Structure 1
Amino acid sequence: MSFAEEAKSDVPTLPGTHSGIPPFLLEKARRAKAGIFEGRTKPQKERQRLPVVPQGIERDDFLKALAELKELLGDGNVEINDKPLRDGWYMEHPNTHDMMTILDEEEFVASAVVYPGSTEEVQQVVLWANKHRVPIFPISMGRNLGYGGAAPRVRGSVTVDLGRRMNKILDINAEDYTCLVEPGVSFYALYEALKERGLEEHMWIDTPDLGGGSVIGNTVDRGVGYTPYGDHWACHSGLEVVLPTGEVIRTGMGALPNNNTWQAFPYGFGPYSDGIFSQSNFGIVTKMGMTLMPNPGGYESFMYTFPNDDDLAQLIDIIRPLRISNILENVAQVRHVTQYIAASGHPRSKFYTGPGPVPQDVIRAAAAETPVGDHAWAYYGMAYGPAHIRAHKLALIDREFRRIPGARRIDPATLPADEYFWSRDRVARGVPDIHELRWVNWAPNGAHIAFSPVSPIRGADARRLFALGRRLHDKYGIDFFPAFCVGLREMHLIVEIVFDRDDAANKAAALACLRDLVDEAAREGYGEYRTHLVLMDQVAGTYSWNDGALMKFNERLKDALDPNGILAPGRCGIWPRRYRGRGWEMTRESGERSEGNGVEPA
């Protein structure tokens, strides 16, 4: 398909494909796609490519091994990656590389993609990888955008795409408010399944900003959503896992034959092992249970704006007791006005074409022209429950927020249907959306990469992180998009750096800024909760207490569970023995080359 044909092709939909958009969002997705392709100038490469062979195996041996895998899974379920790399977009993304790459697109690239159709076929793939010592990299759907997408950490790995053929919702229990899903089930698909079964008024899902990602993939990477069930990992119950040696285990109550509480009680008996399968390379999750939220009997979104950057510290200190006491009930957002303007979907050039970050007076003038009006910070929240309960909580919130001079509560009746507020409203009541994609249009060939530190819910910490972020963004000439997502006793600062992936200087500045952010934040005691492939070694290195005792423990687990080092080597900075000490770690000093100097011989 040519670039022009790709731009004009229609958006895939559910249930026609597991990775499609639900019909109710189709028109919105078409507009989002049009906006993305309108800003794309990056040329589409058409040259044929040779597959990248992973280090440690000869090309002929590798091709013979792939032929053997085709015999096991069927010829159509093994694809060699020898075609031009196509970036696509959110709903039609590649599973061979990172569509938002911050390095050369050939750096984190797969040699082949395989599509198992069952847990048993995943076992076959794992046993095959051990036999031939081929690194494999499992993905659920590959939409971990901003953190590396579907790209493997080790160049030439075979991507194991679990989503295409393992996409069933195995159970929805309306009495226990639970479900059991495979890796290819997206938040879109789970929401549609509730509707099809007439359960959408009975129970809710919790969805991230964009609903196209895998429920399993997002949860295992400890992603978040925006209802009271926003901590996805805390809301899972029960895993089925293929270990790197091919054995299959079920965690929690799933280890009991004929159990009836696998999705209702996560712990079972003995050590709680689920945690080692999140943000790790210790196993491949093929099934996962998830709790669903009962309909609270009513809901009401609200939005406040605050006029000054310096209001942030007081606002966070006001939020903390309200959040801990569950007066503020959901994982809400405190979002800066610069990102609010970018979420309009217009390119940066509409507002400013000069050098450096867009001046704040330009941003504020643009905000003044919107229905929300001029502001520095916006708080998006939701109250749940019957009307009299909501009224009581909202009155408490209003009294506290108005302690900040100039605080305004925005009347939703004044906001048009395409205002960003309504996207936050939908997400906070468990309805997946696609609006959040729009701020990526800020740059031509828009891509993003995230800085995601965690801190206490304290004004002094918010002020310190905000100052750190602004100073380094100004240093590198990058627009600053901070948003604080407030949990029960911690908050995540999510800073999205939007860059032009066809501009080498722009990419280099974004990566240098990120490396500085990670190091300086760590020195202040703020650690990342997840990160991009290119930063995993650096971030893992910041968790260095007691001479790196945690990483030494992770390495012992890795070597015990994966003696041949075949499963996602390097993910989250955990390298198996056959790669360690050979220069595979990526740091600023490594020159951003993802490969090391060979692997330990068999």
Structure 2
Amino acid sequence: MSSTSQVPLLSEKHSGIPENLLEKAKRAKALIYDIRTKDTSTRQRLPVVPQGIEKYAFIQALEELAQQLGKANVEINDKLLSVASAVVNPSSTEEVQKIVLWANKYSIPIFPISMGRNLGYGGAAPRVRGSVVIDLDKRMNKILDINPDDYTCLLEPGVSFYALYEAIQAKGFDHMWIDVPDLGGGSVVGNTLDRGVGYTPYGDHWACHSGLEVVLPTGEVIRTGMGALPGNNTWQTFPYGFGPYSDGIFTQSNYGIVTKMGMTLMPNPGAYESYLYTFQKEEDLEALIEITRPLRIGNILENVAQLRHGIQTIAVKGLPRTKYFTGSGAIPESVLDIIDAEFKKIPSARKIDPSTLPKDDYFFSRDRIAAGVPDLVELLWVNWVPNGAHVAFSPVSPIRGTDAMKLYSLGKRRHDEFGIDFLPAFIVGLREMHLIVEIVYDKNDPVKRKAANDCLREMIDDAAKLGYGEYRTHLVLMDQVAGTYNWNDNALMKFNEKLKDALDPKGILAPGKSGIWPSRYRGRGWEMGKGSGERSEGDGVA
């Protein structure tokens, strides 16, 4: 894709953007290409083949699958630096079954994605090189139901937040809101299964789901909750059904492929107000968190609150850091003082009047998202450096000032050590808060890549020693993060592995996802840790 290629619209393509965001998208794209330092190569090569299968046998197997799904729906991936060997595009649960049965027949690893937009946490890349990606985006993108009386919907994996919002608006259902994350272009199902969050009172997306249809790694299909009752009429309104509640094992796991999911929608509250306060000093953070906790627990602040650092607010304008600072290493506080001079003159908290802000100010993007309206401004801070990429550090803690300061201090110390600008944001839920630290780096610079990786790995261990664990992480870091949840001689991982081997005896579904490896990969060096560098492969499979 070039800087002049067309941005697809939602009216033209299911994965496109709403027309009202077109100019924003064009501007964001132009900013990215303005600071790119080299072109992306289009040179082709032979596809990578997963370990454990001969290349000729693999090609033959793909041809067999193409006969079942249609040649247009099985694409060999011959792009430069490919991680996936091929991409397949099923159109139904039945076709997903066919793919899973095929993978079992030939012991080929498969990796399902909803839309592949899990940005900062791995994207569409499979953990095991040579895996066949199952793209549930292109042909499984139907909104199967929107119920205006129950405030529910039923979705396939390829439905974006943009698409759901636009469909609700088109039907005139103004009495319902959806909850959206920072960017609206991702899959509702995918985000929910990764336990992603938004910012309305319905911000805990997993807590707002009800009912799954799942293809198990053996090819069997189940419906959870009330969906297991033939002819049921409460699948999207009561999530539990009867017996053990199994839905949770399909989040952040490799135990099944979700092909349908129900979600609850929020009643439109009518009037609402967004607030913007600024605070002068970093040491004000502790008191601010203490003030916020009872307001959130008591639901006086109904929406998820955000506390963001000044540099991130500057970076979201989409301009490179060289506009503000041309030196090496992290931006010193003295430079931030100059940029933020108006705020620094105020010795106490200040409430900002939105009418005094320019119409393109970041505040208005947050205001829309807090009201369930998708946007795409958030990722502009990736332009902070040339060829910008990002990866997140995401520990969870209680809503306490002391915890906030501990996490803030360890993050700041490690960022200073590795010469990286510190972009923290505290996302305050009802009784916990996520610290989301985005590391933005030049993906074409091996030194910067290594610094980002090393900084993250040190912070993961630092946080774990203080009792803080990450709620979500990048594929490269999953083994390390999973290893920090090691109470009672790694009892939880042993349990996860037992489930994996029972549900996926051939070990074909997303091996390594969330640090869960099937038996045929275990003990062969597939895990990635501090000493792994950019190595991601082990020594074969059993």
Fold shared per TM-score above 0.5: yes
1:488 pairs with 2:430: yes
1:303/1:410 contact within 8 Å kept: yes
What residue is the counterpart of 2:495 in the other structure?
553
How far 1:359 moved relative to its partner? 1.2
What residue is the counterpart of 1:449 in the other structure?
391
1:491-506 correspondence runs (5 A): 491-506=433-448
1:160-559 correspondence runs (5 A): 160-199=134-173, 201-368=174-341, 373-374=342-343, 406-559=348-501
Matched residue pairs, number? 542
Cα distance per residue 1:219-248 (max 9 Å; x no partner)? 000000000000000000000000000000
Moved >6 Å (runs of 4+): none
5+ long unaligned stretches in structure 2: none
1:276/1:282 contact within 8 Å kept: yes
The AA in structure 2 aligned to 1:275 is G
How far 1:16 moved relative to its partner? 1.3
What residue is the counterpart of 2:45 in the other structure?
49
Cα distance per residue 1:446-474 (max 9 Å; x no partner)? 11000000000000000000000000000
Cα distance per residue 1:270-305 (max 9 Å; x no partner)? 000000000000000000000000001211111111
1:37 pairs with 2:16: no
**2: CA distance, partners of 1:288 / 1:15:** 23
**2: CA distance, partners of 1:548 / 1:155:** 27
How far 1:45 moved relative to its partner? 1.2
Cα distance per residue 1:193-236 (max 9 Å; x no partner)? 0111011x210000000000000000000000000000000000
**2: CA distance, partners of 1:13 / 1:582:** 45
Cα distance per residue 1:138-174 (max 9 Å; x no partner)? 0000000101100000000000000100000000000
How far 1:37 moved relative to its partner? 1.2
**2: CA distance, partners of 1:347 / 1:516:** 26
The AA in structure 2 aligned to 1:169 is I
Q: Secondary structure at the match of 2:379?
A: helix
Cα distance per residue 1:182-201 (max 9 Å; x no partner)? 000000000000111011x2
**2: CA distance, partners of 1:410 / 1:47:** 51
Q: Secondary structure at the match of 1:424?
A: helix
1:8 pairs with 2:16: no
How far 1:479 moved relative to its partner? 0.1
What residue is the counterpart of 1:96 in the other structure?
none
How far 1:323 moved relative to its partner? 0.5
Cα distance per residue 1:97-141 (max 9 Å; x no partner)? xxxxxxxx55xx100000000000000000000001000000000
What residue is the counterpart of 1:63 in the other structure?
59
The AA in structure 2 aligned to 1:82 is D
**2: CA distance, partners of 1:223 / 1:476:** 28
**2: CA distance, partners of 1:331 / 1:42:** 39
What residue is the counterpart of 2:86 in the other structure?
112
1:63-102 correspondence runs (5 A): 63-84=59-80
How far 1:49 moved relative to its partner? 1.1
**1: CA distance, partners of 2:5 / 2:270:** 41
**2: CA distance, partners of 1:24 / 1:198:** 18
Cα distance per residue 1:285-336 (max 9 Å; x no partner)? 0000000000012111111111000000000000001100000111120001
**1: CA distance, partners of 2:171 / 2:270:** 19
Worse-matched range after superposition: 351-360 or 510-519: 351-360
What residue is the counterpart of 1:122 in the other structure?
96
Q: Secondary structure at the match of 1:55?
A: coil
How far 1:591 moved relative to its partner? 3.4
Q: Secondary structure at the match of 1:301?
A: coil
The AA in structure 2 aligned to 1:261 is T
1:312/1:459 contact within 8 Å kept: yes
**2: CA distance, partners of 1:527 / 1:42:** 37
CA RMSD of aligned residues (A): 1.1
Q: Secondary structure at the match of 1:7?
A: coil
1:187/1:215 contact within 8 Å kept: yes
Q: Secondary structure at the match of 1:527?
A: coil
**2: CA distance, partners of 1:410 / 1:361:** 23
- Find 1:139's aligned residue among 89, 98, 113: 113
**2: CA distance, partners of 1:168 / 1:42:** 38
The AA in structure 1 aligned to 2:201 is P
**2: CA distance, partners of 1:279 / 1:157:** 18
Question: Normalising to structure 2: TM-score of the pair?
Answer: 0.99
Q: Secondary structure at the match of 2:437?
A: strand
**2: CA distance, partners of 1:219 / 1:75:** 31
**2: CA distance, partners of 1:172 / 1:74:** 31
**2: CA distance, partners of 1:299 / 1:507:** 42
Q: Secondary structure at the match of 2:435?
A: strand
Q: Secondary structure at the match of 1:160?
A: strand
How far 1:562 moved relative to its partner? 0.1
Q: Secondary structure at the match of 2:273?
A: strand
5+ long unaligned stretches in structure 1: 85-104, 377-403
